[in-house]
Amino acid sequence: MLIANNLCKVYQLKERKGLFGPKTLKEIMAVNDVSLEIKPGQIIGLLGINGAGKTTTIKMLSALLEPTSGSFSINGIDGIRYPQEIKRIVNVITGGERNIYWRLTARENLEYFASLYNLPRHKLNDSIDELLELVDLKEAADMPVERYSKGMKQRLQIARGLVNDPKFLFLDEPTLGLDVAIAKELRNHVRHLAEKRNKGILLTTHYITEAEELCDWIYVIDKGCIIATGTPSELAYSTKMNTNILVSIPELTSGVKKEIYEIAKVHQAKIEFQENTTDVSVSISAQENLTGQLAHILTSNGLPILHLKIIEPRLEDALIQLSYGGDSIERNISNCESRSYKATS
Amino acid sequence: MLTTMLATAKRNYYIAKRVFPWSFIVQRIVIGLYTVLFSYFIYHYMFRGYLDSRFETYTGSSDYITYTILGVSLYTFAVSTLMNVGRSLMNELREGTLEALLLSPCSRKGYFLGNLIEQVGRSFLEFFVVLIVGWLLGAKLLNIKIEQLIIVLILSIFSFFSMGVSLATVMLRTRDTYITQNTLFIIVSLVCGISYPIQYLPTWLQVISHVLPLTHVLELFRKVVIFGDLLWHHWILIIKLVALSLMYLLFGFWWLSRVEKQLIEKTFG
């Protein structure tokens, strides 16, 4: 299990005013008091806008970067005291076409990276064949990577990330720039790694649907602080965003209208009626989903529902509200503790 | 360390096999030959074989052609090793593979040694081409004691490797290869006694000569080749050379660990 407690990272930037001006030291809190947990087989999302602190968090958890304060351990190994041990059991897969040698073949790439992890020679060939099969590159295994398509390179990146059979895998925007089909294929690989191979996965992505599809639990990070946590649906509802119901009925009697107004009053819902040539549209927007109650009123009054559309709160909207401001989160506060927000179902 | 070393050497061999760096090799040989020819022309056609009396005092020999050809050949060898080892990490950074390398628990010593081993054959090729051309131009090379020469070359590889590690760190720190390497090569060619004894230089420049291992390797090389000396007669020089090289090596690795940290903070997202 990966446990991170109160991780902080302060970057020190030297700035000079003018060409010969005095240097000033500026401190930037890239990650502020981040605590998180990842269990084997779980896919955890770390979402936030650019510069929120996602990549810095991953760098610290992969022992590339030493935290300014805080601690983390993976399977009981102290990440600060034993970075080399941590590097043996984690790996990072990034988006784009970096981190592989274009002039080598896929097999040569994997052989090289496996050697960097000091894997025994007798295991090497079998595990490389297995990885190539997993990412569907067996047929192109002996072709130089420079001839690969973007998707093939990205699949090779996954194989490289798995070359040391890591217990925990950090995916930093892995589908960046990929077309829809390849991105979907990659998501399937990720799910397979968690479900079948019991890897603990930390995923950062700007594609919210990807997080909704894959993640068991999400941490929302902003300005280095974790500002919300929960399952994707919990987060979507947590920011008190409304569920909108659009319903079409053939006619609207005053009695029905009155009953709908009563529900709206109780639930502080916004309500709109629009009379069209053939039907009447009713729109109700409330924090609670009032579909059941509305349907009950209509059917008990013998009104058939011609069309029904329910627009539930989306994770994307919740994230925008969390990151760019909203009523539920106090923006102008400086410490993370008072900003953190735990979603509850 | 051994696994990383062998894997890196093998990786570089595969890359070199596919994209053989002919242009680099030809460029270094041509520069070496130009320097040899330049010295030969100056000596024969401008000075008409006349040498300043101080030359013999400083070097103990009046054979300028052999002197300069030994200097240029070892300089070519040094440049080749320094370029391959020194540019290794910067090449990783440029090709976008440095992050994956730093993510692994691999040994940096093994990594640099792998880079060294793979290119040693090519560096020797360049070295011997310059020597053979020099021999054709009149350098006296046939009295070389092979076993003494081998030891000098091993010491040379060690000292150039040590400088290479420091150079790699400087390049990574400055994120530059071109200006750094060319500045170093110009300084080395001017102050290490490649084409003339360092005693001709002002005293303050001689201080720089003495902190560059190439100066001491060259002195040893010439003593073995020109005078046929045995190495153990020059054990103080050998100790000086090894100590100086060790300083470059230790400093290079110490600084590298700091530069790596700074680099990780500033790059990779």
pLDDT at B211: 93
pLDDT of residue A165 exceeding 50, the answer is: yes
Provide the pairing of β-strand A168-172 with A307-311: unpaired
Which of A62, A108, A164 is the closest to B11 by Cβ?
A108
Inter-chain CB proximity B103 and A118 less than 8 Å = no
CB contact under 8 A, B261 and A65: yes
Please tell me whether residue A258 adopts helix, strand or coil conformation. Answer: helix
Q: From residue B191, give the alpha-carbon distance in Å to each of B58, B61, B210, B213.
A: 15, 20, 9, 11
Lowest mean pLDDT among B13-22, B192-201, B216-225: B13-22
Q: Is the pLDDT of residue B268 over 70?
A: no
pLDDT band at B167 (very low <50, low <70, confident <90, very high): very high
What's residue B243's pLDDT?
94
- Contact (CB<8Å) A65/B104: no
Percent of chain B with pLDDT over 90: 34
Instruction: Read off the pLDDT of each residue in B17-39 and give the average, rounded to a whole number.
Output: 80
Q: What is the mean pLDDT of chain A?
A: 82
Q: How far is B182 from chain A (nearest CA, A)?
A: 26
Q: Does B17 touch chain A (CB under 8 A)?
A: no
In this prediction, residue A43 has a pLDDT band, given cuts at 50, 70 and 90, of very high
Residue A280 pLDDT greater than 90, yes or no: no
Distance from CA of B255 to the nearest CA of A (A): 17
- Above 60 in pLDDT, residue B25? yes
Query: How much of chain A exceeds pLDDT 70, in percent?
Result: 89
Residue from A281, A340, A45 nearest A170 by CA:
A45
State the DSSP H helix or E strand holding residue A282, giving kind and residue range, or none if neither: strand A280-286
CA dist., res. A342 & res. A220, Å (int): 10
Q: Give the Cα separation of B162 and B249 in Å (integer).
A: 4
Q: What is the pLDDT of residues A133-154, one digit of tens each?
A: 878 888 888 999 999 888 888 8
- Distance (Å, whole) CA A2 – CA A63: 13
Q: What is the mean pLDDT of chain B?
A: 88
Q: Could you give the percent of chain B with pLDDT greater than 70?
A: 99
Q: Does A204 touch chain B (CB under 8 A)?
A: no
Average pLDDT over residues B233-260: 92
Whether A320 shows a pLDDT value over 80: the answer reads: no
Q: List Cβ neighbours of A260 (8 Å cut-off, separation of 6 or more).
A: A271, A282, A284, A294, A297
Of A11, A111, A116, the CB nearest to B104: A116
A115, A163, A173: which to substitute to probe chain B, counting the most B Cβ within 10 Å? A115
Whether residue A10 lies within 8 A of chain B, CB to CB, comes out as: no
DSSP string, A8-28: EEEEEEEEESTTTSPEEEEEE
Is B3 in contact with A172 (Cβ distance < 8 A)? no
Write down the pLDDT at residue A206.
78
CA dist B195 and B42 (Å) reads 11
Number of domains chain B is built from? 1
Q: Do A101 and B97 touch (CB under 8 A)?
A: yes
pLDDT band of A336, cuts 50, 70, 90: low
Domain coverage including residue B149: 2-268
What token pair was written down for A268?
């502080």
Q: Tell me if residue A200 falls in helix, strand or coil.
A: strand
Question: What are the pLDDT digits (tens) for B45-102?
Answer: 888 888 888 888 888 888 888 999 999 999 989 998 988 888 888 888 888 898 889 8
Shortest Cα distance, chain B CAs vs residue A313, angstroms: 31
Task: Give me A206's structure tokens.
Answer: 């700007």
Of B7, B103, B268, the CB nearest to A112: B7
Residue pLDDT, tens place only, B170-187: 998 888 888 988 899 999
pLDDT score at A325: 62
The predicted pLDDT at position B85 comes to 87
Residue A24 has pLDDT above 70, yes or no: yes
Q: Is the Cβ of B269 closer than 8 Å to some Cβ of chain A?
A: yes
If you average pLDDT over residues A109-126, what whole number do you get? 86
The verdict on a CB contact (< 8 Å) between A103 and B4 is: no
pLDDT at A314 over 80: no
What's the CA gap between A227 and A329, in Å, rounded? 8
The answer, yes or no, to whether residue B149 has pLDDT greater than 80, is yes
